[in-house]
Amino acid sequence: MAESVTSSHVYARVSSRKSKTGQVVRYLQLAHNEWDPAAGMSRTKVLYSFGREDELDRPAVQRLVTALSRLLDPAAAAALTTPADMTLTDSRPIGGAYALDGLWRRLGVDTAIRAALADKRVDAARVERILFALTANRALKPSSKLAATDWIAHDVHIDGLTDVVDEACYRAMDALLAVEAVVARQVYHQVADLLNLEVDLLFFDTTSTYFETGEADTPIARDEHGRVRPGVEPSDLVRDSGFRTRGKSKDHRDDLPQVVVGMAVTRTGIPVRVWSWPGNYRSVIVLSGSQDALLRPSPLRTGLASFPRIRLKQALWRACWQKRRCASGGVVPSGAVGVHQTAGGVVRRVPGCGDRGAADRLS
């Protein structure tokens, strides 16, 4: 029957004996101290004897230590198994960030960002690493920029980036905005080639997200597609609103400023473009701006390039605008849902529906 160890201290004990020839022989034992209530004192109890020190099976001891280390926290196990002249200073997980970094490089995002920033007055390599770290943070542990800096410094290993301050994150995002069109175009072509994207049919939907602030942004002049018109005074109360403004909230927070966010995806669900508009914009305005961006024959000025493969092949280019109300069987506003064909310059509009099989039937 196995005996339980009642003390919290188990240690290696060395005992010595002198042989008949006068040679001192050392023996190694695994022991712990037990309290003897009858004697009123602590006594040493041997749990296991390893035999003579000069005949110790060291590989067997190493296997025992390794097996016991599996029961410990990885950082504690590393501290116990490292050489005596080494000190464990830090331990961070690497798996998720390592996999995302591999995908990031495989898609050529790092190369596109660094090339676009090469002639700018910034450290292109560091900016690219900061942007990747923020992207990894969104994928693995979404948080604010300030919390993301702490996550980068203490909770994850980002190759080429040990720590960063929140001001550097904002400067990196400003640098990205300045070269957004070039980077988005290159990344799109990389993704289209790698994933063999089919963009003859696109699905579109919108949502809203609010901000925990009581003040909306100052009104600013915009065109019919929501684009800012510099140097023009605002004249329309709805169209010329600030970016963060009050509108019909899908989060039931009409009391807070919000923005409208839209996304276009392929028939397999791969995103190809994301938009954002002022929070009071209605479906018709939103769809008009996104249709104009996707159906523009020249590369988009705001990011994603148009689809040259389809244009060169003179194939049909269809975009199916599907509103969430349509998917739930509601009434679709005029112009909010349709299929557009650009072959020969002809645009045809047909009613949309929430049927999941519509994508196949439209091809």
Query: What pLDDT score was predicted for residue 170?
Result: 92
Whether pLDDT at 348 is above 50 = no
Whether pLDDT at 347 is above 70 = no
Whether pLDDT at 137 is above 90 = yes
H/E stretch holding 11 reads: strand 10-18
Query: What pLDDT score was predicted for residue 297?
Result: 39
> In this structure, are residues 116 and 179 in contact, taking their beta carbons and an 8 Å threshold?
yes
In this predicted model, what pLDDT tens digit does every residue of 197-224 receive, in sequence order? Answer: 777 777 888 889 999 988 899 888 888 7
pTM: 0.54
Whether pLDDT at 103 is above 60 = yes
Minimal CA–CA distance to 240: which of 228, 252, 250, 249? 228
Query: What pLDDT score was predicted for residue 168?
Result: 92
- For residue 345, give every residue at least 6 positions away whose Cβ sits within 8 Å of its Cβ, in sequence order, or none: none
Minimal CA–CA distance to 209: which of 238, 247, 265? 247
Query: What pLDDT score was predicted for residue 47?
Result: 82
Confidence band of 138 (pLDDT split at 50, 70, 90) = very high
